[in-house]
Amino acid sequence: MQPNKIIEITSIQQALIDLAQLTKFRLSVSVVISSLAGYFLAIDQVDYFTLFLLILGGYAMVGASNAFNQVFEIDLDKLMLRTQNRPLPDGRMNSKSALFIGVALTLIGVAALYIINLKTAFFASISIFLYACLYTPLKQRTPLSVFVGAFPGAIPFMLGWVAATNEFGIEPGVLFMFQFFWQFPHFWAIGWLMHEEYETAGFKMLPSGARDQNTAFQIVFYTIWTIVISLIPAFKYTGDLYLTQKAAFLVMLLGGMFLFYAVNLMVSKSDKAARVLIRASIVYITGVQLVYVIDKFLLQ
């Protein structure tokens, strides 16, 4: 192979890596999976065209949010070790290119989701606005930024239901509440672990501003609320969204695991406990969503 072709292939690979970092590929994929879970909970038969549009539009919208976030925080990302190697602070990509990518992804995402229905496109657009225009600037001003950021973070799970039904009712409302409350222990655990780096960048992520008993207690408190909400469908007051007793038992077991590690952080107040809680929170939400879907198709 000729040297110039090697360089060309390497450049293409680097561009794809930079795009993946700009859009936070793994995070975006996890958000899309959350939307798919909401979609499968609402349908009896899969519409593959809608499924394709939901995947395309969902990834584009989340990727756009992340791109805008990194454009706005380029100088702050330079201050933190974990973000210094991103394409913008490292100088591999300029802000205009990143902004263009963000706008292009927004247009693609809105168009794809609008083809599904107007409500899906509307909620996804609200998500981008809240994340980029409110949550991002508030991170340096107040710990309430986590509360604001929890709104766009909670939309994907319910978005799948809205995409499938073109309706917003109690079912997507419960899905929204579940993911909304889950974000507090999850992101406060991240804030606990990354506290020093966040302080360097001026981010106010912990509710009390410190790794103390107040913050640890609130992590446990919101974990309990998340578990309670996850079990509401078991009482069959949530329309077409409901859980069998077997599924509710599995959801309760996952909740017990989540709560155990939250309490462990409150007791030990260590970085190790925070790291374990982050992993446990991801296992928990993935597990609950999986149980919900399996219950619908196999247990009911």
Distance CA 82, CA 105 (A): 25
- Give me the number of domains the chain comprises: 2
Whether 6 has a pLDDT exceeding 60, the answer reads no
CATH of the domain at 50: 1.10.357.140
150 and 14 co-located in one domain:
yes
DSSP for residue 289: H
Last residue of a domain, which of 132, 166, 200? 166
1 and 143 co-located in one domain:
yes
What is the domain range of residue 253? 169-300
Q: What percent of the chain has pLDDT over 70?
A: 96
Dihedral angle, C-alpha 194, 195, 197, 203, nearest 10 °: 110
Neighbouring C-beta atoms of residue 129, cutoff 10 Å: 14
What letters, b where the CB count within 10 A reaches 16 and e where it falls short, cover 188-217? bbbbbbbbeebeebebbbbbeeebeeebbe
| Mean pLDDT, all residues of the chain | 92
51 and 188 co-located in one domain:
no
User: Pick the residue with more confidence: 202 or 263?
Assistant: 263
Give the pLDDT of residue 5.
Answer: 53
14 and 158 co-located in one domain:
yes
**Which tens digit of pLDDT belongs to each residue from 150-201?**
999 999 999 999 999 999 999 999 999 999 999 999 999 999 999 998 988 8
pTM of the model: 0.91
For residue 269, name the pLDDT band (cuts at 50, 70, 90): very high
For residue 4, name the pLDDT band (cuts at 50, 70, 90): low
32 and 88 co-located in one domain:
yes
Give the pLDDT of residue 43.
Answer: 93
140 and 63 co-located in one domain:
yes
For residue 11, name the pLDDT band (cuts at 50, 70, 90): confident
For residue 248, name the pLDDT band (cuts at 50, 70, 90): very high
- Residue 124 in contact with residue 34, Cβ under 8 Å? no
Distance CA 73, CA 59 (A): 21
139 and 191 co-located in one domain:
no
196 and 90 co-located in one domain:
no
Whether 3 has a pLDDT exceeding 70, the answer reads no
Whether 8 has a pLDDT exceeding 60, the answer reads no
156 and 196 co-located in one domain:
no
162 and 180 co-located in one domain:
no
Distance CA 55, CA 112 (A): 9
Distance CA 178, CA 141 (A): 26
Q: Tokens representing 218?
A: 């609130």
Distance CA 164, CA 117 (A): 9
**Helix, strand, coil content of the chain in percent (nearest 5):** 80, 0, 20
87 and 185 co-located in one domain:
no
Look-up of token digits 């001026």: 202
Residues contacting residue 164 through CB under 8 Å, at least 6 positions apart: 38, 39, 42, 43, 50
Closest CA to 58 of 40, 42, 34: 34
Distance CA 128, CA 152 (A): 7
Q: What percent of the chain has pLDDT over 90?
A: 78
Whether 111 has a pLDDT exceeding 60, the answer reads yes
DSSP for residue 205: -
Closest CA to 119 of 65, 182, 42, 184: 42
Distance CA 284, CA 290 (A): 10
274 and 224 co-located in one domain:
yes
Last residue of a domain, which of 127, 144, 166? 166
Out of 6-10, 30-34, 246-250, 252-256, pick the least confident. Answer: 6-10
Last residue of a domain, which of 99, 131, 166? 166
